[in-house]
Amino acid sequence: MMHRSSPPHLLVFLLLAVFWLDAAGTRTAIIAQEGNGTSNNDSETGSPTRTVVFEADDSNATIFDYHQIKGRKSSGSRFGRREGELDFELTGNSRIQSMTSFGTQWSGNAHLLWDGVVGESMNSSFDVDRTGVYDVMIQLTLAGDYGLFRMTLPNTSVNREIDLYSPRVELAPTIVLKKVRLEAGRQPIAFKLIGANNKARKYRNRGYLMGLDFIQLTPTDMPHNSGNTGAENSQDHQKIVDAVTNQRNPDTATVENSKAMTTQQLAEFTRAFCIDCHNGESSDTEVNFAHAVNGQNWQQDPELLRLARNAINHHEMPPETADQPDAAQRRAAAATLNALLTDYLLEHQNHAPTTMRRMTRYEYNNAVRDLLQLRGDIYPLPEKTLRGSHDYFRPATGQSPRAILIGNRTLGKNQVERQILTGVTPFAIDLQAEGGFNNRGEELGFSPILLESLLRLGKTIVHSPEFDGYCGLTESLFSAPESTTKLDLEARQRISRFLERAFRSPVEHATINRYCDYFAVRLKQTNSFRHAMKDVVAAILASPRFVYLAEASGTTSKSQHDSYALATRLSFFLWSSIPDDELLATARDGSLLDPQVLDEQTQRMLTDPKCHALTQNFARQWLRLDQLVTAVPDFERFPRYYSRIGCEQWKFGLQTMIEPLLLFDSIVMEDRSIMLLIDSNYTYRSDELQSWYTDEVPFGDRENRNRFNTNQQQYKRRSLTDRREGGVITTAATMTMTSSPLRTNPITRGAWVATVILNRPPPPPPDIVPPIEADDREIESSGLTLRQRLKQHQSGATCAACHSKIDPLGFALENYDAIGRWRNEYASGLKIDSSGELLGKLKFHDVVELKDELLRHPELFMRAFSEHLLSYALGRQLKVSDEPAVNTILSKVMDARGQFTTVVRAITQSHAFRFHGHEPSPKASEMPVPAMPVPAMPVPDAKGKQ
């Protein structure tokens, strides 16, 4: 038993620390190319692109205009590199080998390794996004026991012999094949072992090896993005190549031209710069390196490695007040830690499993709606914020409407439908995970109360008086067949078809029999085919095979999901609902397991209006918009936030909340770049919301009655020229919900930006939080701005370490008051200082420059957004082991300039999405504990669960 004052086990601390720091996923690396623009051309010759940690001044870098990205035609992965260890199918003897012990020159620090005897072939395949003519660059490895191979690309004329012998382990000269025509889809490639160099020695006395580092495809026939001038193009082109190469393994990139440290050197570095605080005894930190200084334990703890790598790489540590390593030392340490981490991840190639979960109440609504082909929802859900009065969300058109008539279910008046089907009421709302989404198995529990709800729901839905007119299956499923001779057979056919759709899996005879038996019993009791069939459906709606998203357990980390499970995963990701018939058909014949079919289905589903769930469910949670519901700007200070209708009071948040969601809608519908979420030159606003932003006194001189509309409003698409507006960060919704009643709250705002925009959630506040005046006027009366006051307040080094990173992001937004309106100075006339640094390095003077920095370093937001969406798609928290998947996704997203469909497609193509997670062997401290202590007294209760 732990003594109550003793520090818990190191591992627990570390896990917790990482949990907090990384609540929603993996972390962003801050990398950019060299500031002076003298980028190299190494990529042409195939050796890894040299990159460095960027050291500020790159203010001259051009900003790409992301408004050019629009339309459903993917630009493909133009500069994508296919890594041997990540992107090639592993068959036969193929496996991944970490190359860090041989140097840092291998891309991704690893390659695909194969061995065989003469006559055998290494067969594999890789993806080609688009049919076309490419320059193909092939990077192989040489070594003393590597053989002589004939390489073929079967659908092309490529066929050549390659000798991979070298006395040393090193990269082979890059092979460049000019102008090879490749078909879109999975492209086979083969290396047949045909012999060996005379000097080569045999591997295990029998055969020879080969190593494939990467293949890079450069299209020779594709025009660059329309709208770009040629001059910009070449620069852009290089920039993307650099960025993509960096992103593959961002933190290797920091250091590829720096030397790795030895274990001994790393230990010395740690002793010199870390151990004074991180020794397990300091009360200021829970990160402890004491066990790791000897270098051995590092390898055992990837979370600690990542924490350390990122802190050093991002200049977060050592703290400003402590001794600093020089730039070379810093790079070398980061490189070494990264190499150790990469080693670990490759050896343990394995992502975390997704815990089986039940549907949320939002998903249950959609699933029942689609299963029974209902005309609308089954119950009103206040969390489904957007209530369009017309079906404006039609992504197939590729065009978001000029104007949308819309209300706010969450906050608006008369917007939540009282009841849809009589007697049908939802179960309790599912709460979001901290820094994450509400679709995680750990938190979606099941209780007797929920089962009661489901039993009641099933029954009340099908027997509600409105049901027959509301359901599209009234005839085909529920109506008694004309002929009664083969009634049983007909019922059986209907039930078995329905079960397959409801359970999203093949249904065995025993199960069909049980439901048919139940049908027969109910038919006998009610003497009504329709009634009996409804009872069958009611039961199915409460079945675990309907309400759980279960994925059969994989035998290894490399086993693919079964096609039905993959279909379910895909439809719940894009639609928050069950698969439709077309998707189910690809599951039935197994074709969905083909990545190309999976991609086609992904693209098809993104044109279906059902993907409005990405706005209603994902975007709302991602933006934490729920916090606007209870925002209460002080009534006297901000009277215009309120309007009285009758005796009720309404908040303007009901209009502001809609703006960021409609922007998101338009990005999905028009397939625009996610970078518009940072900065857009258009937005959707009602006239009243426009007045809120632009008029000195919004709503003119209207009194507090009927000051603004609380029902539906016409939201018009408006061009923006003022860059203080646009994107989601500076919307009135965000600014209001991150404020206190009497003032802005820069810390809350900074934490919001860090979490939502950068996916670098700050650690929770410490137990001791000194208070700050609730009213900025009180602060200003002492002659201080809020910023100066907060600075005073965080004089301690412990506070400053975190706040110096969080707060500047909030201060950048100080020009927006507590209800999101622009102000040039504080009420007292004191000057607003909105300058700061992004992630400690990128300097800005105001919010527009902050946006510029985010646009100039799009990898920051693209990574964060990809991580959020991947976490949502998987229904789990991302782990350090997901880093390779995120890097691959990011490189595709970078290629496509953040085009929305590319983000989604890259996710559905990712290993993490398509393959099983694998439960790691539990460490002692993580062993599941029995659910309850064993009572000493006998508890004869049959269900005793111990």
Interface residues for another protein in 371-430 (CB under 8 A)?
Answer: 383, 428-429
Contact segment (CB under 8 A) with another protein among 16-24, 120-128, 201-209, 333-341 equals 16-24
Q: Of 705 and 943, which has the nearer Cβ to another protein?
A: 943
Question: Of 167, 164, 165, which is closest to residue 175 (Cα–Cα)?
Answer: 164
Q: Of 121 and 739, which has the nearer Cβ to another protein?
A: 739
Q: Whole-number minimum distance, CB 538 to another protein, in Å?
A: 7
Q: Is 280 a residue that touches another protein (CB under 8 A)? A: no
Q: Whole-number minimum distance, CB 569 to another protein, in Å?
A: 14
Q: Is 830 a residue that touches another protein (CB under 8 A)? A: no
Q: Are 247 and 887 in contact (CB under 8 A)?
A: yes
Q: Of 250 and 554, which has the nearer Cβ to another protein?
A: 554
Contact segment (CB under 8 A) with another protein among 48-56, 435-443, 788-796, 838-846 equals 435-443
The separation between CA 806 and the C-alpha centre of its own chain, rounded to angstroms, equals 22
Q: Is 771 a residue that touches another protein (CB under 8 A)? A: yes
Q: Is 149 exposed, middle or buried (0-12, 13-18, 19+ CB in 10 A)?
A: buried
Q: Of 794 and 902, which has the nearer Cβ to another protein?
A: 794
Strand locations in 457-612 (E): 548-549
Q: Is 12 a residue that touches another protein (CB under 8 A)? A: yes
Q: Whole-number minimum distance, CB 872 to another protein, in Å?
A: 16
Q: Of 155 and 511, which has the nearer Cβ to another protein?
A: 511
Q: How many whole angstroms separate alpha carbon 581 and alpha carbon 587? A: 10
Q: Is 932 a residue that touches another protein (CB under 8 A)? A: yes
Q: Which of residues 498-527 bind another protein (CB under 8 A)?
A: 508, 510-511, 514-515, 518, 521
Q: Is 15 a residue that touches another protein (CB under 8 A)? A: yes
Of 100, 350, 439, 460, the one binding another protein (CB under 8 A) is 460
Q: Is 538 a residue that touches another protein (CB under 8 A)? A: yes
Q: Which of residues 342-361 bind another protein (CB under 8 A)?
A: 353, 355-358
Q: Are 124 and 90 in contact (CB under 8 A)?
A: yes
Half-sphere exposure of residue 411, counting CA atoms within 13 Å on the CB side?
23
Cα three-residue angle 337-338-341, rounded to 5 degrees: 90
Q: Is 9 a residue that touches another protein (CB under 8 A)? A: yes
Q: Is 8 a residue that touches another protein (CB under 8 A)? A: yes
Q: Whole-number minimum distance, CB 627 to another protein, in Å?
A: 6
Give the CA distances from residue 363 to residues 613, 760, 900, in Å, rounded to whole numbers and listed in that order: 9, 28, 23
Of 231, 647, 697, 936, the one binding another protein (CB under 8 A) is 936
Q: Of 135 and 443, which has the nearer Cβ to another protein?
A: 443
Binding map of another protein across residues 462-501, x = CB under 8 A, - = no contact: ----------------------------------------
Strand partners, 141: 171, 211
Backbone angles phi, psi at 29, to 5 degrees: -100, 140
Q: How many whole angstroms separate alpha carbon 623 and alpha carbon 873? A: 16
Q: Whole-number minimum distance, CB 484 to another protein, in Å?
A: 24
Contact segment (CB under 8 A) with another protein among 202-210, 250-258, 432-440, 890-898 equals 432-440
Contact segment (CB under 8 A) with another protein among 41-49, 221-229, 457-465, 599-607 equals 457-465
Q: How many whole angstroms separate alpha carbon 577 and alpha carbon 942? A: 36
Give the count of beta carbons closer than 10 Å to the beta carbon of residue 644: 14
Half-sphere exposure of residue 607, counting CA atoms within 13 Å on the CB side?
11
Q: Of 697 and 937, which has the nearer Cβ to another protein?
A: 937
Question: Of 273, 351, 308, 302, which is closest to residue 871 (Cα–Cα)?
Answer: 351
Q: Which of residues 112-151 bind another protein (CB under 8 A)?
A: none
Q: Which of residues 550-579 bind another protein (CB under 8 A)?
A: 550-554
Structure tokens belonging to residue 150: 């004939």
Q: Of 24 and 193, which has the nearer Cβ to another protein?
A: 24
Q: Of 372 and 541, which has the nearer Cβ to another protein?
A: 541
Q: Is 548 a residue that touches another protein (CB under 8 A)? A: yes
Q: How many whole angstroms separate alpha carbon 149 and alpha carbon 162? A: 5
Structure tokens belonging to residue 238: 């290089």
Q: Which of residues 727-756 bind another protein (CB under 8 A)?
A: 741
Of 231, 647, 697, 769, the one binding another protein (CB under 8 A) is 769
Q: Is 13 a residue that touches another protein (CB under 8 A)? A: yes
Give the count of beta carbons closer than 10 Å to the beta carbon of residue 318: 19
Q: Whole-number minimum distance, CB 728 to another protein, in Å?
A: 19
Backbone angles phi, psi at 233, to 5 degrees: -60, -50
What stretches of 610-673 show up as alpha helix (H) in DSSP? 613, 620-622, 653-656, 658-670
Q: Are 90 and 346 in contact (CB under 8 A)?
A: no
Q: Is 825 a residue that touches another protein (CB under 8 A)? A: no
Whether the ω angle into residue 940 lies within 30 degrees of 0, i.e. cis, is no
Q: Is 449 a residue that touches another protein (CB under 8 A)? A: yes
Q: How many whole angstroms separate alpha carbon 308 and alpha carbon 275? A: 12
Contact segment (CB under 8 A) with another protein among 363-371, 594-602, 902-910, 930-938 equals 930-938
Contact segment (CB under 8 A) with another protein among 305-313, 478-486, 866-874, 936-944 equals 936-944
Structure tokens belonging to residue 24: 């929603």
Q: Whole-number minimum distance, CB 428 to another protein, in Å?
A: 6
Contact segment (CB under 8 A) with another protein among 27-35, 205-213, 576-584, 920-928 equals 920-928
Kindly state the number of chain residues that form the binding site for another protein, as judged by CB under 8 A.
Answer: 93
Of 78, 82, 369, 459, the one binding another protein (CB under 8 A) is 459
Q: Is 286 a residue that touches another protein (CB under 8 A)? A: yes
The separation between CA 29 and the C-alpha centre of its own chain, rounded to angstroms, equals 15
Q: Which of residues 323-342 bind another protein (CB under 8 A)?
A: none
Q: How many whole angstroms separate alpha carbon 108 and alpha carbon 883? A: 12
Of 276, 284, 347, 442, the one binding another protein (CB under 8 A) is 442
Contact segment (CB under 8 A) with another protein among 134-142, 305-313, 766-774, 805-813 equals 766-774
Q: Which of residues 858-887 bind another protein (CB under 8 A)?
A: none
Q: Whole-number minimum distance, CB 441 to another protein, in Å?
A: 6
Q: How many whole angstroms separate alpha carbon 82 and alpha carbon 84? A: 6
Q: Are 801 and 809 in contact (CB under 8 A)?
A: no
Q: Of 489 and 552, which has the nearer Cβ to another protein?
A: 552
Q: Is 836 helix (H, G, I), strand (E, B) or coil?
A: strand
Q: Which residues contact 873 (CB under 8 A, 6 or more apart)?
A: 569, 573, 907, 908, 913
Q: Whole-number minimum distance, CB 922 to another protein, in Å?
A: 10
Backbone angles phi, psi at 821, to 5 degrees: -100, 145
Give the count of beta carbons closer than 10 Å to the beta carbon of residue 897: 22
Q: Are 110 and 84 in contact (CB under 8 A)?
A: yes
Q: How many whole angstroms separate alpha carbon 306 and alpha carbon 321? A: 23
Of 40, 156, 627, 788, the one binding another protein (CB under 8 A) is 627
Q: Whole-number minimum distance, CB 621 to another protein, in Å?
A: 9
Cα three-residue angle 694-697-699, rounded to 5 degrees: 90
Of 37, 154, 188, 445, the one binding another protein (CB under 8 A) is 445
Q: Of 36 and 446, which has the nearer Cβ to another protein?
A: 446
Question: Of 160, 156, 145, 157, which is closest to residue 192 (Cα–Cα)?
Answer: 160
Q: Whole-number minimum distance, CB 429 to another protein, in Å?
A: 6
Q: Which residue has the tokens 């570390």?
A: 14
Q: Is 169 a residue that touches another protein (CB under 8 A)? A: no
Q: How many whole angstroms separate alpha carbon 758 and alpha carbon 314? A: 13
